[in-house]
Structure 1
Amino acid sequence: MTTVAVVCTAILGLSALVAVVRIVRGPSMLDRAVATDTFIAMMAAAIGIEAVANDRTVTLPILVALALIGFLGSVAVARFAVRPEEEA
């Protein structure tokens, strides 16, 4: 594994730790949702780094599935976070 991959993995690990802390201690549900979306993006980046470092393409479907889960989760939270105005 190259030095760049090790440094990127260490930075992603620290970022994931911060995201998990925000998921646990987040003051609101929207903060937790953003932290979860960030955590999923970091997982995808870590899998991408692993795929590049080991010269494998088998993990591409996992990356696509993580991207889809992250997108659908964000859309679902955004849809339910916005409260419709009461009609008079």
Structure 2
Amino acid sequence: MSIVILFSLAVMSLALCLAFARLFRGPSLPDRVVALELFSSILVGIIGVVAIATDVSILLDVAIVMALMAFMATIGFARFLERGGPRDD
């Protein structure tokens, strides 16, 4: 593997750990939602780099599907927060 690929995987792994920490430490629910979106975006980037490194093109399809699913989850969380969050009806 190339040094650039190893370096980018190392940096993205560090960023993934920091996003994971923010996901659990986040003081509020919107902070956690943003951390979850960042977490999924970093995972898509890691899958993309692995696809380039291994020359397996099907991983790019996996990355696209994962990015779309993460986007839909973010939209769902945003609508949930917009309506006022959990209620005791």
TM-score by length of 1: 0.89
Secondary structure of 1:27's aligned partner:
coil
Taking the aligned partners of 1:19 and 1:83, their CA distance within structure 2 comes to 26
- The answer for the alignment partner of 2:49 in structure 1 is 49
- The answer for the alignment partner of 1:58 in structure 2 is 58
Q: Which runs of 4+ in 1 moved over 3 A?
A: none
- The answer for the alignment partner of 1:8 in structure 2 is 8
Q: Which runs of 5+ in 1 are unaligned?
A: none
Identity of aligned residues (%): 33
Aligned AA for 1:38? L
Aligned AA for 2:74? S
Taking the aligned partners of 2:61 and 2:80, their CA distance within structure 1 comes to 29
Question: 1:55 Cα shift?
Answer: 1.2
Taking the aligned partners of 2:56 and 2:65, their CA distance within structure 1 comes to 17
1:59-74 matches, cutoff 5 A: 59-74=59-74
Q: Which runs of 5+ in 2 are unaligned?
A: 85-89
State how many pairs are aligned: 84
